[in-house]
């Protein structure tokens, strides 16, 4: 299971979020964030919560104002209760005053305490995204990951099926490459998988007979993209030796393929002589997008045929 220490978090995003150490830096390396499930409570980052204490508690204007309204005894008890929950870190945001009692109790409990000039909502929003991204489960899937008509499409198939050749033709038609050969996928939320390219393979596409091509230099910056959410898999299916397998001529061959914890829609594209796979791939993606909008060409055709049989035309 992946983990991220508070010290690593501050080193990565401290400058971006204007994070300044108040106390607890020496223990920050031992305070770790880890995630077992997206539905776990408490959450990793959030506003001050005494019932389900977040691992990183952010104290904004409203939280500090609430603490200021407590009498001295109750305020001390509340701050002690916050520290007793062993948060990974406490962050005071905006122009709010850290307070000597908060600093004292954080120092006694070796709790990392930081200050930022950024508003609380920005800290929570950015940290939630970045922490989820850093701790997300990852999986490498063999194929070519591209952006086709604004959606993330993974092209898979056996070695020699023509994945890279198809990707090259799609590039000439204005679509964009994200990763060739070994795209890396991370599960950001229960229903979102983000795909990126390993640094060593960035901008590169390997085509049999041509070797490694640098797509950015050949087609320009607009031909590559750093990441995209995975929405569809196009699987290139080579004909097997033997009798032809019966296919559904109305709806084609579709299903799902598991990637991490998500079942991703998959469309099988038979690789046959004389077929323009780039045109077929574009048509498959367009048809998939129509289905996502609620229009099913197969269902519409069957419904029309039914009306004809009932003499309703």
Q: Catalytic: 199? A: no
| Beta-bridge mates of residue 151 | 148
* Catalytic hit among 55, 163, 228, 235: 163
* Catalytic hit among 39, 249, 293, 310: 249
* Catalytic hit among 18, 101, 107, 181: 181
Q: How many CB atoms lie within 10 A of CB 146?
A: 28
Q: How many CB atoms lie within 10 A of CB 15?
A: 9
Q: Catalytic: 142? A: yes
Q: Which distant-in-sequence residues (6+ apart) come within 8 Å of 269 by Cβ?
A: 234, 235, 236, 237, 277, 280, 281, 284
Q: Catalytic: 181? A: yes
Calculate Rg over the CA atoms of the chain.
Answer: 26
151, containing H or E segment: strand 151-157
Task: In whole angstroms, give the CA distance from residue 68 to residue 83.
Answer: 17
**Angle separating helix axes 120-135 and 6-13, nearest 10 degrees:** 110
Task: In whole angstroms, give the CA distance from residue 102 to residue 70.
Answer: 14
Structure token pair of residue 286: 């367009």
Structure token pair of residue 252: 């084609």
> For residues 186 and 138, is the Cβ–Cβ distance under 8 A?
yes
- Residue carrying the six token digits 């579709």: 254
| Beta-bridge mates of residue 227 | 196
- Catalytic positions, please? 142, 163, 181, 249
């Amino acid at each position: 299971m992946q983990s991220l220490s508070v010290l690593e978090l501050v080193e990565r995003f401290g400058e971006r979020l204007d994070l300044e150490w108040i106390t607890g830096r020496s223990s920050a390396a031992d305070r770790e964030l880890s995630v077992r499930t997206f539905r776990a409570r408490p959450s990793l980052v959030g506003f001050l919560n005494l019932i389900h204490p977040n691992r990183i508690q952010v104290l904004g204007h409203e939280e500090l104002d609430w603490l200021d309204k407590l009498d001295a005894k109750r305020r001390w008890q509340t701050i002690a209760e916050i520290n007793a929950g062993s948060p990974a870190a406490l962050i005071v945001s905006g122009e709010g005053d850290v307070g000597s009692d908060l600093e004292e109790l954080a120092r006694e409990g070796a709790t990392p305490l930081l200050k930022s000039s950024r508003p609380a909502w920005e800290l929570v929003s950015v940290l939630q995204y970045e922490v989820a991204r850093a701790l997300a489960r990852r999986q490498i899937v063999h194929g070519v990951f591209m952006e086709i008509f604004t959606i993330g499409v993974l092209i898979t198939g056996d070695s020699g099926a023509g994945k890279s050749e198809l990707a090259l033709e799609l590039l000439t038609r204005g679509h964009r490459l994200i990763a060739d050969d070994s795209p890396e996928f991370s599960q950001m939320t229960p229903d979102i998988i983000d795909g990126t390219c390993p640094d060593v393979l960035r901008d590169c596409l390997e085509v049999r007979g041509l070797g490694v091509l640098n797509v950015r230099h050949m087609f320009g910056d607009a031909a590559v993209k750093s990441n995209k959410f995975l929405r569809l898999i196009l699987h290139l299916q080579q004909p097997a030796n033997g009798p032809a397998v019966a296919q559904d001529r109305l709806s084609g061959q579709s299903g799902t393929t598991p990637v991490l914890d998500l079942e991703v829609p998959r469309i099988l594209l038979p690789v046959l002589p004389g077929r323009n796979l780039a045109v077929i791939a574009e048509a498959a993606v367009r048809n998939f997008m129509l289905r996502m909008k609620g229009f099913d060409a197969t269902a519409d055709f069957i419904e029309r045929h039914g009306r004809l049989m009932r003499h309703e035309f």
